[in-house]
Amino acid sequence: MMIHRLRTIDAHAAGEPLRLIVDGFPSPHGKTMLDKREWVRRHADHLRRALMLEPRGHADMYGAILTEPVMPGSHAGVLFMHNEGYSTMCGHGVIAVTTIALERGLLMPGGDGTTIVYDSPAGTIRARARWAGEAGRAGEAGRVDSVSFVNVPSFVLHGGLAVKLSSRQVRADVAFGGAFYAIVDSEAVGLPIDVAHLPELRRVGMEIKLAVDASVAIAHPLEPGLRGIYGTIFTGPASDDRADLKNVTIFADAEVDRSPCGTGTCAVMAVIDAMGLLGEDKPFVHESLIGTRFTGRVASRTLVGEHHAIVPEIEGSAWITGEHTFIVDDTDPLKNGFRI
């Protein structure tokens, strides 16, 4: 009998889980983060399945591993995983990983004691923590109150795209915020953003995702390895007076984001900015399905190929929920996980 042990530290950011694998996972090979992601997909996907899927995880679990950096000046690389495979970037994941890394002393930040620079498949991400109470330092007892991160340039790839569904035609904006999303007004599909309508939101969200992917080329103009629709974002009126917009993101294989979705918030901000409606100095507050919030602002502007882009900064909070040692027994017929 062969036993494989994996140690994780779990957290949630605005309600969305993050399982950081800290021991028992092989070190990914590759010169770039996309290379490392492909190495994990080819050589360690059974471990992703074991930790993301039942009986150790669930259909909406999300995870991450830290790697050696690939760029000078970066503290670490980070790869994100979910029920279907691997994403290119994850905003709630950056918030949760940074909180875990600082509160548990896994990474030593810059001289200010608050900044960690990550390499991700989508590009370089600079995260900054705000400590609760008196300023803390990595490795010391302390609570990270919030984390903000400056994301990769975010832009609209296809605006007002006509998408034919089985029951109707809708308009979608395809935007990049670290991953590509199809962004649709929830009223256009006749579904309010609430838990009661989640089964239909999942179904229609996946139908939109597949329809957009089949109808138009989705690829980053500067990095061809970043391609395809990651998810569908339904937007609607906020339930909270403190928020500007409410959303639910259906991504990967019908996974539902409990948080406002960090990269999705960046993509939505890019769409609003393209419409001329994003205030330059006013924060953008994005509400989730469960009422939690992320706050975004425009840090700067740039061009991505021929596309006007914003460089967004997103802020949110995460909490550690547990520390686990998982056992994978080679004799277990369900050792690599399953989904229902």
Q: Mapping DSSP to helix (H, G, I), strand (E, B) and coil, where does residue 325 land?
A: strand
Is 50:39 a contact under the CB 8 Å cutoff? no
Amino acid 199: pLDDT = 97
Long-range CB contacts for residues 189-198, cutoff 8 Å, separation at least 24: 189/165, 189/234, 191/234, 192/236, 193/234, 193/235, 193/236, 193/246, 193/247, 193/248, 193/289, 194/289, 195/289, 195/290, 198/248, 198/256, 198/289
The reply to whether 90 belongs to the active site is yes
Q: Tell me the pLDDT of the chain averaged across its residues.
A: 96
Span 95-146, pLDDT tens digits: 999 999 999 999 998 777 899 999 999 999 999 999 987 555 544 558 999 9
Amino acid 326: pLDDT = 99
Residue of 61, 90, 156, 274 with catalytic role:
90
* Mean pLDDT calculated for residue range 40-47: 98
Q: Which segment of 52-61, 127-136, 157-166, 171-180 scores lowest on mean pLDDT?
A: 127-136
Q: Which segment of 23-32, 157-166, 274-283, 308-317 scores lowest on mean pLDDT?
A: 274-283
- What span, in angstroms and rounded, lies between the C-alpha atoms of 304 and 162? 24
* Residue at token pair 């838990």: 195
pLDDT at 34 over 70: yes
What is the CA angle 68-71-73, rounded to 5?
Answer: 95
Domains plus CATH for the chain?
3-151+319-328 (3.10.310.10), 154-314 (3.10.310.10)
